[in-house]
Chains A and B, each alone.
Chain A
């Protein structure tokens, strides 16, 4: 299959701090690729470099076979970018924002397309109000509509649902799926494991400037702990003793210990038995779904174990 995006050994530092350290990945044409990472992991920097907004220190990005550093203008015709903060013109109305982008993309007969997008994104009523009166969700929708007025081959979405309520998020997810069906390749970044699961064909987990894990959603999920057990203790001494015994991730403020259980009864029973045998009293215990933090913790932990 033709690669829509090909990133090889991408590197970027800001004043001696290495934000991205040789990351590489490929995005097949017509698929959805999710770059998953916490705040500050380098997701936005990656997107900026892929969309010609930032020059890489090292490495290359090819969009639909074209090198972005050599053919920036030709590449820019192939994609649209919806950044992390809805970049709409607040003074202009929704309709004017769409017309502005249509004109800048030198489209002809765009008025019917503008109306169509306003309808698709359910913005007809608000179309002639200034965008500064829009809610966060409406801004995101307008931003996305602006990216679609000249249908792109490739769509970059930098944290498209951050700050949206669950309902607006579901609407946006549905739109992203519809876009995929129409053949658009989508590159998105997210902080939410669930979002990647819901949408992506391929997932890459970015941690401290490196890709920690990459593969299909099913492949990546196999590596992840499904559930953790959160145990809290009465004091720091008990907490430290428990950690020495069964491992896991310590949260000193909450006097809590998070242990991966893979949702297996035997594992939970074993942990509880071990603690009881050592006479370490548990204050509370709760089962938690693995968060992205837990995933990273597990990845980092595995690394150091492999290194030993």
Chain B
């Protein structure tokens, strides 16, 4: 199938983009680690809960933060491809056209998932001790993978519709905003009433709660389906929308 070989060829191209950009590596891997250290060792001191407990509490949010800031670059690069005409070049060639978007998504999933793993490893280095067994690990990583896949398709849509590079990357701040108004960094009970109502029902909260329950406490919650449902729903909707916009844009 040419779809497969074309996707691999174009993914190879994107991987070179990612690994050759020091800026991307810094933002995607170092920023979350800095944020984690700041929350645990700077703000954590002012909190009433012990540092060890808080580590377990925020690691899931930090992992999603890694992916959310990482997909900003997915949108940025995709938009760059449109702006500088390379998309048109590919589009006028006899290749499987779906490979063009696929390559951005595959690169985004692989790269951001690996980044999240690096951040997870560093959290273990500073003393995070997951209680997860093998099955728990499999479920937790699957959920993180699903969330990365969903966020990558969201990034593709924003990359396609953004007028320029700066707007394309700005959408990841929306995702990061969602993370802060969720159960990620503080229990939602401590939030003001209006924010709490939002925080309890937005997708980041069930995903973070599920990851936390599995990784930190070693318990697969009964509502794990809700977290997966959000991811799968987002994948379907944003993939359909992206492909629609893409076709409209280039024909």
Contact = CB atoms under 8 A, between A and B. Distances in A.
Contacts of B250: 53
Contacts of B93: 76, 101, 104-105
Contact of A87 (B20, B89, B251): B89
A73 interface: yes
B90 A104 contact: yes
A245 interface: no
Nearest to B21: A91
Nearest to A101: B93
B13 interface: yes
A58 to B, nearest CB: 15
A12 to B, nearest CB: 13
A81 B251 contact: no
- How many chain A residues sit at the interface, stated as a range, is 20 to 34
B86 interface: yes
B131 interface: no
B192 interface: no
Contacts of A29: none
Nearest to A82: B89
Given A92-B13, A92-B16, A96-B16, A106 B2 contact: yes
A83 B85 contact: yes
A54 interface: yes
Q: Which of B10, B13, B250 has the most C-beta atoms of chain A within 10 angstroms of its own C-beta?
A: B13
Given A104-B6, A106-B2, A91 B92 contact: no
Given A89-B13, A91-B17, A73 B84 contact: no
Contact of B85 (A55, A79, A85, A104): A85
A100 B10 CA distance: 8
A76 B92 contact: yes
Contacts, number: 61
A106 B5 contact: yes
B13 A100 contact: yes
A60 to B, nearest CB: 16
Interface in B65-116: 84-86, 88-95
Interface in A59-113: 73-74, 76-77, 79, 81, 83-92, 96, 100-101, 103-106
A77 B89 CA distance: 13
A87 B84 contact: yes
Interface string A97-138: 000110111100000000000000000000000100000000
Interface SS, B side: helix
B86 A89 contact: yes
B8 to A, nearest CB: 9
Contacts of B85: 83-87
B92 A104 contact: no
B14 to A, nearest CB: 10
A24 interface: no
B9 interface: yes
A153 interface: no
Contacts of B251: 53-55
Residue among A79, A103, A105, A146 with max Cβ neighbours from chain B (10 Å): A103
Nearest to B85: A87
A214 interface: no
A87 B86 contact: yes
A37 B133 CA distance: 70
A64 to B, nearest CB: 14
A90 B84 contact: yes
Contacts of A84: 85
A81 B251 CA distance: 16
A52 interface: yes
A51 interface: yes
B152 to A, nearest CB: 20
Contacts of B90: 104
A138 to B, nearest CB: 16
Contacts of B89: 81, 83, 87, 146
Nearest to B250: A53
A91 B94 contact: no
A88 B84 CA distance: 8
Nearest to B91: A53
Interface of B: 2, 5-6, 9-10, 13, 16-17, 20-21, 84-86, 88-95, 250-251
18 contacts: A53-B251, A54-B251, A55-B251, A73-B94, A74-B94, A76-B93, A81-B92, A83-B85, A83-B88, A84-B85, A85-B85, A87-B84, A87-B88, A89-B13, A90-B84, A91-B17, A92-B16, A100-B13
Interface of A: 48, 51-55, 73-74, 76-77, 79, 81, 83-92, 96, 100-101, 103-106, 130, 146
Given A53-B91, A55-B251, A83-B85, 10 more contacts: A52-B92, A85-B84, A87-B88, A88-B86, A89-B13, A90-B84, A91-B20, A100-B9, A101-B93, A104-B90
